[in-house]
Amino acid sequence: MSTTRLLRSSLEALGRHKLRSGFMMLGSLIGVAALTFVLTIGAAAQQKLLDTVRQLFGPSSIVVSGGGGFFLGGPRGEAARLTLDDAAALAEEVSEVESWDPMQVVPGAQVRRGDASASVRVLGESERSERVWDRGVSQGEYFDAAAVAGSARLALIGETVAHALFRGEDPIGAEIQIGSVPFRVTGILERQGTDIHGMDRDNEIVIPISTAMRRVMNVDTIRAVKLLVRDPHRVDETAKAVTRVLRERHALAEGQPSDFTLMTSSAVQKNVQKVERVLFLYLPLVAGISLLAGGAVAATLMLSSVSARVGEIGLRRAVGARPRDIRLQFLMETAVTAVGGGLLGAALGSGLAVYLAGRMSFGVGVSPGAVALGIALAALTGLVAGVVPARRAALLEPAVALR
Partner 1 sequence: MIELQGIGRTYRRPGGEPVVALDDVSLRIERGDFMAIVGTSGSGKSTLMNVLGLLDRPDTGRYLLDGEDVAGLDVDRQARVRNRRIGFVFQAFHLLPRTTALENVELPLVYSDRAEIAGLGRRALEQVGLADRIEHRTSELSGGQQQRVAIARALVNEPDLLLADEPTGNLDTKSAADVLSVFESLNQGGRTIVLVTHDPSVAAHCARVARIEAGRIVAIQERQATAVGARA
Site residues for partner 1 per CB under 8 A = 1-2, 5-6, 8-9, 12, 16, 311-312, 314-325, 397-399, 402
**346 burial via Cβ count (<10 Å: 0-12, 13-18, 19+):** buried
Beta bridge partners of 80: none
Cα–Cα distances (Å) from 3 to 10, 51, 185, 288, in that order, read 10, 52, 75, 31
Q: Which is nearer to partner 1, 299 or 394 (CB)?
A: 394
Q: Least distance from C-beta 355 to partner 1, angstroms?
A: 38
Q: Least distance from C-beta 303 to partner 1, angstroms?
A: 20
Q: Which is nearer to partner 1, 376 or 399 (CB)?
A: 399
Q: Which is nearer to partner 1, 12 or 115 (CB)?
A: 12
How many other C-beta atoms lie within 10 A of the C-beta of residue 190?
17
Q: Which is nearer to partner 1, 168 or 320 (CB)?
A: 320
Q: Least distance from C-beta 358 to partner 1, angstroms?
A: 43
Nearest-CA neighbor of 55 among 192, 240, 209, 174?
Answer: 192
Q: Least distance from C-beta 345 to partner 1, angstroms?
A: 27
Contact 131, 99 (CB under 8 A): yes
Q: Least distance from C-beta 338 to partner 1, angstroms?
A: 22
Distance separating alpha carbons of residues 402 and 257, to the nearest angstrom? 81
DSSP, collapsed to helix, strand or coil, labels residue 78 as: coil
Nearest-CA neighbor of 195 among 333, 52, 20?
Answer: 52
Beta bridge partners of 260: 66
CA of residue 233 relative to chain centroid, distance:
28
Q: Which is nearer to partner 1, 190 or 325 (CB)?
A: 325
DSSP, collapsed to helix, strand or coil, labels residue 83 as: coil
Q: Which is nearer to partner 1, 4 or 180 (CB)?
A: 4
Q: Which is nearer to partner 1, 18 or 167 (CB)?
A: 18
Q: Least distance from C-beta 38 to partner 1, angstroms?
A: 39
Q: Which is nearer to partner 1, 76 or 324 (CB)?
A: 324
Q: What's the chain's Rg over C-alpha atoms?
A: 32
Q: Least distance from C-beta 327 to partner 1, angstroms?
A: 12
Distance separating alpha carbons of residues 142 and 155, to the nearest angstrom? 9
**Beta-carbon contacts of residue 98 (< 8 Å; ≥ 6 apart):** 228, 229, 230
Contact 152, 161 (CB under 8 A): no
Q: Least distance from C-beta 296 to partner 1, angstroms?
A: 27
